[in-house]
Structure 1
């Protein structure tokens, strides 16, 4: 493994390639840090910088594939183990790649972490496969069933700025404050005007549920025809969740992760008029059986970082179709490599039934890919034509964000710890209400 961000320019395609040509010869893992607004959630507030990792995989004939995942020192350590395990493999041997990574990683690691490590390399391998064959990743996944992938506006309660801290001046952003229903509606109006989203999601779990219900009602008044979603990240008890579901009947497209655990979700689902969705209590294949038995959730939010790559995410879609479950896609603070991968797999998954989540309006200005490929038009992103992911790395920007990471000395994301710098009595004990 190397940490240098300076590599020679990659070939974009080759008509023919031998098995030796397509073996992995070099892997570069580059941690980066980019700016993030003070977005509030159930466990605190986003710090001024978010940690992310860019993965570059190169083959013997000079083809380059890109991957991206969440950061943190433990993730970097696990990526290094994974990189060493797959050196010398053909980029077409992704099943063996997954097996070798799992064998090399610490046996105590969760299936969630194993999936995230493999996913970063699988996306890069598929990117190279596309360059080698002249095909897009979505074609490699079976072909597109939609040319454009719809996304939802992702709203957050937020401070007007990151407050002054330890001599660091306050950091404002163009979005301004959103701490009440009026601020949330104002944020939604701007996001829809700029990106054309056709549905809206509010990140809740920040204020007492009655206040967040008022925000949903204000959004319904402002946008009478758009589907609405509310996600409190398990901030409520079962009884509170049932009450919120009763108060929002007819307002919500779905209610996401109101309470912790499959059993609790099942109790809420038994009386809720709207579907329950999750990216917290069903995040691996071994969770699905019990969830179906309990009828805990009716919509699963897939995420190729969580589910072990693009092919496994497409398999998740087939399972959802089998059991009559809805499928959407979860998002975290991602950049363009992850967004491109998300668009390709969503385009190739027939059973996608809801618009996907995305943080890209909050973070896209930090991107490490060259602009022009990923654009939101009427709330959707057109599938990149390829080959591969269809995106190109901006090496100058990557180097800048890598330097920012080094200067910040970041080791992990800590929304709770950052909140406690300003509200010392704050705790992340959930459920809160």
Structure 2
């Protein structure tokens, strides 16, 4: 079996309403879908984040490393790509991951097994997820806004009542220190028995993060995610706050994992299949976390059904899964896979797909619509100005 063709498609899917975060606001998001074909007729699906730059990198640099190879020989192809992140950074890792995930999908389809069985076997049938609470700007028709404390709590309550979430993650870094502390206290009072997380996307100065951290000790956060930028600042904060610190921004690959452990900067690492360069690398991350007794969870970056299926399959095979995973499923207004496979239950979980490989398939009409949307809207970069904070450009330690 050999990889014979690789198709790369840029797509755009809207959010329910423009989501706000410390880097700006987004009403839609650019993703990349890859279809990896083999010479015996199998097609593996992959997905990753990034726009035209990452797609061009896949086509010009990464695809030639995979073409002609056996999709089972993942480590060989990853070895070919060793120096890609050195020159292309995170875009390189995301480009590699798109094809690597598709190879795992092919392996599952070739053997007739769900991917979790190739990663050690299914340990659970359903995976718990957290309710993800963003502030939102209003849509053009005036709907969808989440701005006030009352709106934040009402939205969280609606999600908990509908889906039975037992963990709530609040995306901070967009309001004042006072407002965000008020919102967190309101969430704690409304949900005294649920786990709470806070993530300002590393926008706070160490001084601000320390002040807020002492308040969050009283609120009893499950963990405090990326309050400051980088391993050094995180390590300083961790020495002074009695809360677990979590990250997907300062420990971002296997090299920074060693640095983070040496500095003692984090307690929980949010592995990202796409930003870490694929499933194999996140498996390695899991082994290191087990060896050094670090917590492991999984990050979400607005993935659609293909990416969500990859996380479900990985989580199903993890021996320890102490945290509810992140997901943007309640923020997304579109999809590219067929219905009936990826869906939230009424008790805060998503069932692991049973089909071979990732267990999902593209919906031709939805896929075409998402490609047309990209052709119309173009790339949506990481930074897009938040109209509610017009003229404010995010910088490190800005608050």
TM-score range (shorter-chain normalised) is: over 0.9
CA distance in 2, matches of 1:32, 1:320: 34
| Counterpart residue number, 2:119 | 141
Q: Call closer, same or farther: CA 1:181–1:106 in 2, change over 3 Å.
A: closer
Work out which of the residue numbers 23, 48, 68 in structure 2 matches 1:88.
68
CA displacement, residues 13-71 of structure 1 (integer Å, 9 cap, x when unaligned): xxxxxxxxx2111111111111122111112111x321111110111111111000113
Q: Please say if residues 314 and 348 of structure 1, whose CA atoms lie closer than 8 Å, have aligned partners that are also in contact.
A: no
| Counterpart residue number, 2:80 | 100
| Counterpart residue number, 2:249 | 280
How far off its partner does 1:115 sit?
2.1
The question of 1:236 aligning with 2:215 is answered no
How far off its partner does 1:270 sit?
0.6
Spell out the pairing of 1:257-268 with structure 2 (5 A cutoff): 257-268=226-237
CA distance in 2, matches of 1:411, 1:34: 11
Q: For the pair shown, which has the larger CA radius of gyration, 1 or 2? A: 1
Greater RCO (Cα-Cα under 8 Å, separation 6 or more): 2
Work out which of the residue numbers 382, 386, 391 in structure 2 matches 1:419.
386
Structure 1: give runs of 5+ residues left out of the alignment: 1-21, 162-169
What is the SS of the residue equivalent to 1:362? coil
The question of 1:151 aligning with 2:129 is answered yes
CA distance in 1, matches of 2:225, 2:338: 34
Matched residue count: 395
Structure 2: give runs of 5+ residues left out of the alignment: none
Spell out the pairing of 1:246-261 with structure 2 (5 A cutoff): 246-251=214-219, 252-261=221-230
CA distance in 2, matches of 1:267, 1:373: 44
| Counterpart residue number, 1:403 | 372
CA distance in 1, matches of 2:53, 2:181: 38
CA displacement, residues 286-333 of structure 1 (integer Å, 9 cap, x when unaligned): 112221222111010111112221122122111111111111111011
CA distance in 2, matches of 1:428, 1:148: 38
CA distance in 2, matches of 1:316, 1:203: 25
How far off its partner does 1:145 sit?
2.1
Spell out the pairing of 1:188-267 with structure 2 (5 A cutoff): 188-251=156-219, 252-267=221-236
Task: Give TM-score, length-normalised by structure 2.
Answer: 0.95
What is the SS of the residue equivalent to 1:360? coil
CA distance in 2, matches of 1:178, 1:405: 26
How far off its partner does 1:101 sit?
3.4
CA displacement, residues 357-416 of structure 1 (integer Å, 9 cap, x when unaligned): 0011111x41111010112111111111121111111011111111111122x1341534
What is the SS of the residue equivalent to 2:201? coil
Q: Please say if residues 71 and 106 of structure 2, whose CA atoms lie closer than 8 Å, have aligned partners that are also in contact.
A: yes
| Counterpart residue number, 2:398 | 432
How far off its partner does 1:113 sit?
2.8
CA root-mean-square deviation: 1.6
How far off its partner does 1:172 sit?
4.8
What is the SS of the residue equivalent to 2:68? coil
| Counterpart residue number, 1:72 | 51
CA distance in 2, matches of 1:171, 1:318: 48
Task: Give TM-score, length-normalised by structure 1.
Answer: 0.88
Q: Call closer, same or farther: CA 1:316–1:109 in 2, change over 3 Å.
A: same
